[in-house]
């Protein structure tokens, strides 16, 4: 069983959802980013979703756009992102998913990029702007190099496309709980259980839910029905708010991440 499947299986045995933590690779600089990744993993994250910094992150709201800009300004490149993964692998076996855009994969050569990601220690690819109907080259390379694929389902996804998306995914399905971009929200969407149930009619893969989840109680609400809960902006905001104290940033991030992770643990009684 691969790292990603093991993470979801372990969470299921513990009767809880997996906690998936999003951070932008290299935000705000390489060393601080590495320490931030260690902090969220030590806080109990089951999966690390690493955003690959990009100049035009169309699916991201202001928080993650600014994180990507900080990372790029700090000198992050494709090679440095792979190096960050290798450094994480020195202390953690937690599965790592790339949250990326197709231009970054294509411009480096699809085969070469996927091979390099696997060699660095990446376990899966979520290419935000790549629909499954056009993903043949990426799917073939991921199959060849045993890298799992993750595809998005949105509230606006028509029923006819659910089967297509589910057939292309090999890691998990990522349900975007709200229309629009990433970012903190005051409340979670109220149709998540129905949407997750609808997706499960087409796949046996885990269904993770993200976008707009930012508090322990929101994590708990979503974890009642989902196999995984993704939190990004609430963690990235801690980095943003502590740029002037980078030495103390990991400790603050660990506290916030641990509080959010407690949401999946407390959801077990509701499952």
The pLDDT of residue 270 is: 60
Coil, strand, or helix at residue 89? coil
> By the 8 A CB rule, do 39 and 257 touch?
yes
The pLDDT of residue 211 is: 87
> By the 8 A CB rule, do 202 and 162 touch?
yes
For residues 269 and 180, what is the distance between their CA atoms, to the nearest angstrom?
32
Q: 217 catalytic, yes or no?
A: no
Residue 149, beta-bridge partner list: 125
Q: Given 60, 83, 137, 270, which residue is catalytic?
A: 60
The pLDDT of residue 4 is: 97
> By the 8 A CB rule, do 145 and 98 touch?
no
The residues, any chain, with a CB within 8 Å of residue 66's CB and separated by 6 or more, are 240
For residues 17 and 209, what is the distance between their CA atoms, to the nearest angstrom?
10
The pLDDT of residue 267 is: 59
For residues 207 and 200, what is the distance between their CA atoms, to the nearest angstrom?
8
Residue 98, beta-bridge partner list: 50, 125
Each residue's pLDDT, cut to its tens digit, for the chain (271 residues) gives: 799 999 999 999 999 999 999 999 999 999 999 999 999 999 999 999 999 999 887 767 788 889 999 999 999 999 999 999 999 999 999 999 999 999 999 999 999 999 999 999 999 999 999 999 999 999 999 999 999 999 999 999 998 999 999 999 999 999 998 654 444 455 566 789 999 999 999 999 999 999 889 999 999 999 999 999 999 999 999 999 999 999 999 999 999 999 999 999 865 556 5
Class of domain 3-270: alpha beta
| Angle CA 64–60–22, to nearest 5 | 55
Q: 83 catalytic, yes or no?
A: no
The pLDDT of residue 181 is: 45
Q: Given 49, 129, 133, 137, which residue is catalytic?
A: 49
- Identify the H or E element spanning 97: strand 96-100
């Amino acid at each position: 069983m691969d790292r990603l499947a093991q993470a979801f299986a372990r969470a299921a045995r513990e009767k809880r959802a997996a906690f998936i933590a999003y951070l932008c690779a290299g935000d705000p600089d390489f060393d601080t980013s590495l320490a931030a990744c260690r902090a969220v993993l030590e806080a109990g994250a089951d999966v690390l979703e690493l955003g690959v910094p990009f100049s035009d992150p169309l699916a991201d709201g202001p928080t993650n756009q600014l994180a990507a800009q900080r990372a790029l300004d700090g000198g992050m490149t494709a090679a440095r992102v792979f190096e960050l993964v290798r450094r994480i692998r020195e202390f953690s076996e937690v599965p790592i998913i790339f949250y990326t855009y197709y231009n970054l994969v294509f411009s480096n050569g699809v085969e070469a990029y996927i091979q390099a990601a696997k060699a660095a220690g990446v376990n899966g690819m979520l290419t935000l702007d790549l629909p499954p109907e056009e993903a043949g080259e990426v799917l073939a390379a991921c199959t060849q190099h045993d890298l799992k694929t993750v595809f998005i389902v949105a509230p606006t996804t028509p029923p006819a496309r659910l089967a297509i998306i589910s057939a292309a995914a090999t890691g998990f399905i990522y349900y975007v709980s709200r229309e629009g971009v990433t970012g903190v929200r005051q409340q979670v969407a109220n149709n998540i259980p129905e949407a997750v149930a609808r997706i499960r009619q087409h796949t046996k893969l885990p269904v993770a839910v993200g976008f707009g989840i930012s508090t322990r109680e929101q994590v708990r609400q979503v974890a009642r029905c989902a196999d995984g809960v993704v939190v990004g902006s609430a963690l990235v905001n801690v980095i943003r708010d502590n740029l002037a104290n980078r030495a103390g940033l990991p400790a603050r991030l660990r506290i916030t991440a641990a509080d959010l992770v407690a949401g999946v643990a407390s959801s077990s009684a509701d499952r």
